[in-house]
Homo-oligomer: A and B are copies of this chain.
């Protein structure tokens, strides 16, 4: 088989659902919601998510074990991600800041390691929650 260019049915179903959501979704919440579409088992969802994360259509919010669709249409691969997370309302936003991504993509320390990927999560209070 050639390198995959189209999404499989399950991947498309999962992606569609995640893209519709305004907030990060848990795997089992996705599962519950796509069961009517035929995905009955956790593995079907996890496999779709794995692939979607790999190709950058979906990002995993590691600190929350949750998944969001990538808002950045040019994002082909999930190799440089940054998010802001409100610790009160749990609102998550993908940060799209070229200065930041340039800074981090070029970051080198004295370990001799060259980094091919990073994930950054910022925490704080969003505007709304700050004013409560």
Contact = CB atoms under 8 A, between A and B. Distances in A.
Interface residues of A, number: 31
Contacts of A130: 113-114
A117 B112 CA distance: 27
B109 A117 contact: no
B117 A123 contact: yes
A93 B116 contact: no
Contacts of A113: 84, 86, 122, 124-127, 130
B118 A123 contact: yes
A2 interface: no
A43 interface: no
A97 interface: yes
